[in-house]
Amino acid sequence: MRILIVEDELHLAEALSQILKKHNYSVDAVHDGRTGLDYAQSGIYDLLLLDIMMPEMDGITVLKTLRSQGDATPVILLTAKGEISDKVTGLDYGADDYIAKPFSSEELMARIRAALRRKGEVVPEDGLKYGDLELNTSTLKLTVGGKEMKLNLKESELLELLMIRKQGVTSKEQIIEKLWGFDSDVEHNNVEVYISFLRKKLNFLNAAVRITTIRNVGYVLEGTI
């Protein structure tokens, strides 16, 4: 899953990025509201961490703009302690939650998991299950019928995306945007390489689930579920 941090305090934004990456989220961070809005409007993010007080455009305006455009991406506001009116305003305009600075990494991760659950995403503590596949997103280990194999980070992120989407077809463009970012110069053949890596590992593990190519559309998981 991909999270956008919109926070003008550079040290805090970097700290948040490191916490989220440690939990195997893909992260982008920007430092003013207008840029944050541009990134958020790309539609590639599963959740936004949005500071209220920022240059160019404040967080409440960013939130109002997104909600007025029909964007339902979960938003957690980052607020200074005591900004009660801002918290109320943010919730009224469609924020899913808020967290007051300073906060612990444990509280942050719990609020992120809760917001994503409300959205309907699969957000387990340790991993995902689909058919005979078990993917531990913390250790990057793929298990099939008791046999396990370590994936690299991009392989794990790609398989996680396919597992979350279940029988939904995922295009190469969606994979690039989710795994590398919407402004990445990664090309389609990079996706094909990682799909090939995953297929070989699924074959090695004798998995019943397979990655099927839908010609000119994308990829989908198929097999016994």
Q: What is the pLDDT of residues 137-193, one digit of tens each?
A: 878 889 998 899 999 888 998 998 888 877 788 888 888 888 887 667 888 888 999
3-state secondary structure of 83: coil
Amino acid letter, 23 = H
Average pLDDT over residues 118-128: 61
Question: Which of 103, 125, 101, 102 is CA-nearest to residue 113?
Answer: 125
Residue 121's pLDDT band (cuts 50, 70, 90):
low
Q: Which pLDDT score is estimated for 178?
A: 80
Residues 6 or more apart in contact with residue 12 via CB below 8 angstroms: 101
Q: Residues of the chain with pLDDT > 90: what percent? A: 38
- The helix (run of H) or strand (run of E) holding residue 173 is helix 172-180
Q: Give the separation between CA 188 and CA 43, rounded to whole angstroms.
A: 20
CB under 8 Å, gap of 24 or more: what pairs does 188-196 form? Answer: 191/158, 194/154, 194/155, 194/158, 195/158, 195/219
> What are the C-alpha distances in Å from 163 to residues 30, 49, 159, 193, 199?
29, 24, 6, 18, 14
Q: Which of 104-113, 117-126, 166-175 is modeled with the greatest confidence?
A: 104-113
Task: List, for residues 28-48, the tens digit of each pLDDT value.
Answer: 999 999 999 999 988 888 899
Would you say how long the chain is, in residues? 225
Query: Model's pTM, two decimal places?
Result: 0.65
